[in-house]
Amino acid sequence: MSKEKKKTEQFEFQSEVKQLLDILVYSLYKHKEVFLRELVSNAVDALNKVQFQLLTDSDLDEKDRELKINIEFDKKKNKLIIEDSGIGMTKEEIVGNIGTIAHSGTVDFLKKVSEAKEESQVDMIGKFGVGFYSSFMVADEIHLYTKSYKKGSTGLVWKSTGTKDYTIEETDKKERGTRIELILKKDEKEFTEDYTIKNILSKHSKFIPFDIFVGKDKIESSPAIWTQPKSSLKKEDYDNLYKFIENSQEEPETYIHLSSDAPVQFNSILFIPKTSFEKIGLFKATPGVDIYSRKVLIQKESKDIMPEYLRFVKGVIDSEDIPLNISREDVQNNVIIDKIRKNVLKKIFTHLNDLKKKDWDKYLKIWENFMRNFKEGITSDFENKDKIASLLLFNSSVKDKNELIDLNTYIENMEKDQKEIYYITGMDLNSLEQNPALEIFKKKNLNVLYLTDPIDEIVIDHLREFEGKQFKIVSSADLKLDKDDKKEEDKDLKKDSDNFAGYLKTIYGDKVADVKISERLVDSPCILVNQSEGPSVQMEKMMKMMNKEYAYAKRVFEINKNNILIKELIRIHKKDPASKEVKSLSNQLLDNMMLREGVIDNIDSIIPQIQDIMLKASKNM
């Protein structure tokens, strides 16, 4: 900091700001006009804030001053001026707000944007907001005059050429608010054209709840459409509101317009976007529902009105029952807000469910974008988990494995005596399809849900049941399926196989919880299954990833006494209970199963064992 003139202070930009300026000026120059949208939106914020202060504090200066935005040009000096009668800034606020970047990820984000395809750039910039600095894309120099609404504030002017520093000095600005003068670059003269400015505003500023003047002309606006009757609105009106709120070129995937008089009065328009930036991996969505009271914005992007998992929902909730001076803590605990939230959530879930029935393709898109949010909801919103559950979609065994079904469809198509909802977990659909645990289900034509997302099992764990039907993992040891085609049991075979199972148990020792004769296998020789309440292998693998010391739960080894290999082993074992061959083959059977499940710790010991078996086999050839 050094003093040039009296009362003129010079400040360096934060290094992030310098980087940001570089990227803006050199990479995003194609979308220059966004600067106007950003400046107008800052002015609107400032007006919203002062409007809020006026309603809650009767002791303010300039109480009767009109809340508006003026845009003017000075063609000779190549200047564009945007002025608001908003909240203004103190010196500390200028330094804190304009000299630094609030979002820590801004620079990283902008780098990504500058590398993205050109069409998606505009939308990304819009959603994140590049803010005030974008003006340096068109201006050589910016002078920002401001005076805070706070009593006793002095007028200040901030000046910068957007390179490395800025100055602040006192000025004789008398009225509250901010006036931004852009001294435009030589080849940006178009922004001193009335027509150009009006054209940009018509795209971005239709829903602004304050008057905007370009020169003497007032810009037409249609704010607060959520208070109008649905019948008077067209899809286009909703689309435009969404584009305005989201600074986006894209239409929403779907919208919901709600009006209620009892038990609480509120109007709301909510949107579900077409894109999920979270899914693309760009950044975590921030909450997107604004709270209004009688058309006055009282909390922008409220963190408290919607549950966290619905952060992708955008829009407006306006209620005259919400007190204007409500604080953040009060929003969390307010009874009215609570009632509104309950009502709104119910409507969102009903809307999505209807969409699922009426417009499957649209629903699928929403599902693909926001499934993670729904699943998060089931694990965090106890009250609504069952409603969210009917939004879930799964791959399953009776259909083409790539086709998705919901739980309602699953239940509608259950077999007559089927009492449970069967599921299986695994890494991918192809390996799930090969799982021997499915054999009996395929034979009986029972549908099994395929769970491939690691969070699915946690979700099922939270649900436990759906419409009175319990979830049951098909690899559970206590799975009871009605026996069919009961042939006369071969008593000898039963005795011999029981003996063999007993033998396996002695040689496996504590590597397994038990050895049993399987009722679920049709073709395969054997399988490892979970103990009745034990975690699935998928779940255990996750635990192992988090904690190397984690020891896998012991599982039950089942053999298929009708399988030819098992039959052979039973035969030899009966002849020679001490057979070394049977022992080594039996050990290999267990290792094979552990390999298939991916739960073996010491793969190296298996290979010599297999080679030994191969050697013996080749000697008999």
Q: Which residues bind ligand ADP (CB under 6 A)?
A: 38, 42-43, 46, 84, 86-89, 97-98, 102, 129, 131-132, 178
**CA–CA distance, 38 with 131 (Å, rounded to integer):** 5
CB count within 10 Å of CB 398 equals 15
Q: What's the min distance (Å) between Cβ of 217 and ligand ADP?
A: 21
Ordered DSSP codes for 191-227: GG-HHHHHHHHHHH-TT-SSEEEETTEEPP----GGG
Three-class SS state of 37:
helix
Q: Which CB sits closer to ligand ADP, 38 or 318?
A: 38
**And the tokens for 330?**
């009060």
Q: Which CB sits closer to ligand ADP, 42 or 476?
A: 42
Q: Which CB sits closer to ligand ADP, 135 or 192?
A: 135
Three-class SS state of 289:
strand
Q: What's the min distance (Å) between Cβ of 286 and ligand ADP?
A: 11
Helix (H) or strand (E) holding 395: strand 393-396
Asked whether 426 and 435 are in contact (CB, 8 A), the reply is: yes
Q: Which CB sits closer to ligand ADP, 177 or 426?
A: 177
Q: What's the min distance (Å) between Cβ of 277 and ligand ADP?
A: 16
**And the tokens for 56?**
């809650």
Q: What's the min distance (Å) between Cβ of 271 and ligand ADP?
A: 21
Q: What's the min distance (Å) between Cβ of 102 and ligand ADP?
A: 6
**CA–CA distance, 134 with 42 (Å, rounded to integer):** 12
Three-class SS state of 543:
helix
**CA–CA distance, 535 with 458 (Å, rounded to integer):** 10
Q: Which CB sits closer to ligand ADP, 98 or 197?
A: 98
Three-class SS state of 138:
coil
Q: What's the min distance (Å) between Cβ of 513 and ligand ADP?
A: 58
Q: What's the min distance (Å) between Cβ of 31 and ligand ADP?
A: 16
Q: Which CB sits closer to ligand ADP, 61 or 568?
A: 61
Q: What's the min distance (Å) between Cβ of 39 and ligand ADP?
A: 7
Q: Which residue's Cβ lies closest to ligand ADP?
A: 131
Q: Which CB sits closer to ligand ADP, 230 or 328?
A: 328
Q: Which CB sits closer to ligand ADP, 47 or 317?
A: 47
Of 198, 219, 200, nearest to 35 (Cα)?
A: 200
**CA–CA distance, 303 with 80 (Å, rounded to integer):** 36
**CA–CA distance, 113 with 129 (Å, rounded to integer):** 12
